Structure 1
Amino acid sequence: MELLSTSLKKKAEEHQLWVEVCVTGEQLRQRLHNAKLIKDRCNHMRTYPNCFVASELVDWLLECKEAPDRETAVTIMQKFVDHNVIHHVCDEYLVFKDARLLYRFRDDDGTLAPDRQTKVFRRAQRLYETMMNQEDSILQIREHGAERYRRAFLGSQMLDWLVKNREVASRVDGEEFCRAMLEYGIIQHVAGRHHFSDSDLLYQFIINFRRKRRLMEVLEVQSIGPKKDSPDSPFCLRKLNAELPPGSFVCAPVTDPRPPTLIRRSGSTGGSAASYNYYSPNKPLLGPPSVLKRPVSVEELLAPGAPYISKVLNILGDDVGWGFVIRGSGPCYVQAVDPGGPAAAAGMKTRQFLRTVNGLCCLRIDYQTINKLIVAGPRRLILEVLEPFE
């Protein structure tokens, strides 16, 4: 099996920087379209489709707290100019100016160069989404030595999938494409030692295309090695020190300026956590106070005429999990919902009470047991919740 040379590793790290900036730029582009900042605009009797005003964008970045000041906002956007993600509509300026100038994403005007790197990146992103949307996805948490790796797969397994889904004409073509993904820093051998091959070696997607990026990240990423998922969100699992068991994870709320306490979590599982539980409600260091205004009993929930509406939520987990936090010893309730996660997309809200999980009544079950039930079950959750009247 071909060992990975130092020069190839270095090139892959450089390419990975480009990919991260492109993914962050694409997420920004979608947000700007949703915010209606990108639209057709007229300037000097000419219409420029799908563009934005630079100074308006800077205002928006400050309003969304994506930048602390205008100077930083301009520096962020200059990164996207440098990486050919955006450009001035007439290409008169090679710098981003905080002025009433029109800029546009190259994805919106079709001027993105169709070079090999861009083609591999786009294709890899599409395949990643397809794999992650499958309930029996080949991208899983897998063990290698004493470590666990997310979004991991066997080399031969990836080629089986590509051929089966007619993404490639042959295993040889599939191996060539996977080697290109590795060279461009999208996948890697988990130990960083081997090039891609049709074997039982373990590889993983280094790039998590679904992770929500903060725009400040484009300023922080200089030299890139194997990346961990960003702990920006309290819904992101972070693996702790090597002395903890391989399946031990803790949720560290970023709102607490104090460092998280390392806690050995007994009975934890290695899968994507169903509810990234804060530990021990009576220890404020480990999580925020309850969102409930007062304690609620099971009898109160089930009483005739109780002010609660029953809803059924269908949630398909992604590679991070399902995107919600639960608390309680029965009944359990939703403490927090990741606004960008699958649970929020399915209609989950805080202060909802869990009635059933995949058909099993859980009103009198504590959150640890419910967590284990969800993690051990399928990626698609069918939850019945009781939501209070506003």
Structure 2
Amino acid sequence: MESAGLGLRRKAAERQHRAEVLLAGEQLRLRLHDGKLIKDRRYHLRTYPNCFVAKELTDWLVEHKEAPDRETGIRLMQKLMHHDIIHHVCDEHSDYKDARLLYRFRKDDGTFPLDKDVKVFLRAQSLYETLLDAEDPILKAREENAVTYQRTVFGCEMIDWLIQEGEAGSRGEAVDLCRLLLEYGIIQHVLNKHHFFDTKLLYQFRVNFRRRRRLTELLSEDTLRPMPESPDSPFCLRKLSSEQSTSFLSVQPVKEIKLVSAVRRSSVTSLCGGAGSSFFPNPPNLGILPSVECNPKSVITRPVTNEELLSPGAPYLKKTLTIVGDAVGWGFVVRGGRPCHIQAVDPGGPAAAAGMKVCQFVFSVNGMYVLHLDYPTISSLIMTGPRTLVMEVMEAIQ
């Protein structure tokens, strides 16, 4: 039963990722039309409508900081080709080539495949837009267990609305539609404990269809896969020679501060695979690094649960930190899960300047409640978000 549930969650995650690719691709298409990069082009005595030149698009991606380099730009466009969003005008090339070749969005020439997954997401997007544009919107921020969730709606309220708007002919049909949206990862119970029911349970739209997507998010499935927990997870501290100056202050369980050296100021965690440089080109060259020494112990001396953090009168203080990333990231390490905590802070980095300290628990990231998430998921949220990071943390009152 547990493996079946895991399979459903994995399938929902895959579908949700595809939805993000479709949304990012459509946003890119509209921007390219506005920028006149997509237009009718003539090649070998024939005119091809609504095309772009691959080399020109790669130039545009780098120039507009949608990709840190040409190689990443090519990978991004190959991702769109893999999902049947763009194609070579004559279908002579199955790969995206950084050359003076003509490509086209399938939506511009009517060849975009409308399979079941696409139809579900288009239906969900239409419902989402209608919900937001309503005079008296039922989709709003609400509290559950003293936590505020964005884009939420009560199950029975959603069913009433679907019938009222003519989106479903009966309550049973409306419930089936909402359960389909949940299985596709578009909505979920705010605590992720229930399937969809026609009751007063609170549900949230996980997909914000109006959010501006960064194209580099499309590669997160490949570069930010959750890794199994291990002694050197999530961040390996390297022992450098005495001539090296890059360093972390790592706090051990006995509260002693030990100076250790690090590869670089990681944006969040080594799981990001260097993704921090995606938004900030030309990271510094740190040269060849010697052998690895890992930090095997968590800075948290005893397990802390979400219930303990959120219970009334708990000895924890919530703080809001605004961290502006520099050329090599934000300068801190996240570890653990449910809740995650700050494992290390670069004393000379943006996070330390904003007031971040080790042992703080991560409450929210850019307005999204994350106490129930593990560190790879939080890392992905941070890495694919804006350069200015707004985090709420909870720390023990001394």
Cα distance in 1 for partners of 2:152, 2:56 equals 41
How many Å apart are 1:134 and its aligned residue?
Answer: 3.0
Q: Name the counterpart of 1:252.
A: 322
Stretch moving more, 243-252 or 173-182 = 243-252
Other structure's SS at 2:113 match: coil
Q: Name the counterpart of 2:389.
A: none
After TM superposition, the runs of 4+ consecutive aligned structure 1 residues lying more than 4 A away are 222-225, 241-249, 255-260, 284-287
Q: Cα RMSD (Å) of the superposition?
A: 3.5
Q: Name the counterpart of 1:133.
A: 133
Q: Name the counterpart of 2:214.
A: 214
How many Å apart are 1:113 and its aligned residue?
Answer: 1.4
Whether the 8 Å contact between 2:54 and 2:103 is mirrored in structure 1 is: yes
% same residue: 53
Whether the 8 Å contact between 1:14 and 1:224 is mirrored in structure 2 is: no
Cα distance in 1 for partners of 2:319, 2:51 equals 43
- After TM superposition, list the pairs within 5 Å mapping 1:106-117 onto structure 2: 106-117=106-117
Cα distance in 1 for partners of 2:10, 2:64 equals 35
Whether the 8 Å contact between 1:40 and 1:47 is mirrored in structure 2 is: yes
Q: What is the one-letter code of the residue matched to 2:322?
A: A
Cα distance in 2 for partners of 1:248, 1:221 equals 31
Q: What is the one-letter code of the residue matched to 1:215?
A: L
Using a 3 Å threshold, how does the CA distance of structure 1 residues 244 and 211 change in structure 2: closer, same or farther? Answer: farther
How many Å apart are 1:105 and its aligned residue?
Answer: 1.2
Per-residue CA deviations over 1:337-369 (Å, capped at 9, x if unaligned) read: xxxxxxxxxxxxxxxxxxxxxxxxxxxxxxxxx
Whether the 8 Å contact between 1:13 and 1:224 is mirrored in structure 2 is: no
Q: What is the one-letter code of the residue matched to 1:12?
A: A
Q: Structure 1-normalised TM-score? A: 0.58
Cα distance in 2 for partners of 1:150, 1:14 equals 23
How many Å apart are 1:11 and its aligned residue?
Answer: 0.9
Q: Name the counterpart of 2:243.
A: none
Q: Name the counterpart of 1:34.
A: 34
Which residues of structure 1 form unaligned runs of 5+? Answer: 226-231, 234-240, 261-283, 288-318, 321-390
- After TM superposition, list the pairs within 5 Å mapping 1:82-97 onto structure 2: 82-97=82-97
Cα distance in 2 for partners of 1:245, 1:83 equals 45
Cα distance in 1 for partners of 2:64, 2:17 equals 24
Q: Name the counterpart of 1:10.
A: 10
Other structure's SS at 1:5 match: helix
Whether the 8 Å contact between 2:323 and 2:330 is mirrored in structure 1 is: no
Whether the 8 Å contact between 1:17 and 1:224 is mirrored in structure 2 is: no
- After TM superposition, list the pairs within 5 Å mapping 1:369-384 onto structure 2: none
How many Å apart are 1:102 and its aligned residue?
Answer: 1.1
Using a 3 Å threshold, how does the CA distance of structure 1 residues 224 and 106 change in structure 2: closer, same or farther? Answer: farther
Q: Name the counterpart of 2:151.
A: 151
How many Å apart are 1:16 and its aligned residue?
Answer: 0.8
Other structure's SS at 1:125 match: helix
Q: What is the one-letter code of the residue matched to 1:181?
A: L
Which residues of structure 2 form unaligned runs of 5+? Answer: 227-277, 280-304, 333-351, 356-365, 368-398
How many Å apart are 1:248 and its aligned residue?
Answer: 6.3
- After TM superposition, list the pairs within 5 Å mapping 1:248-287 onto structure 2: 250=320, 252-256=322-326, 258=330, 285=353
Per-residue CA deviations over 1:38-96 (Å, capped at 9, x if unaligned) read: 11112222222211110000010111011111111101111111111111111111111
Q: What is the one-letter code of the residue matched to 1:150?
A: Q
How many Å apart are 1:255 and its aligned residue?
Answer: 4.2
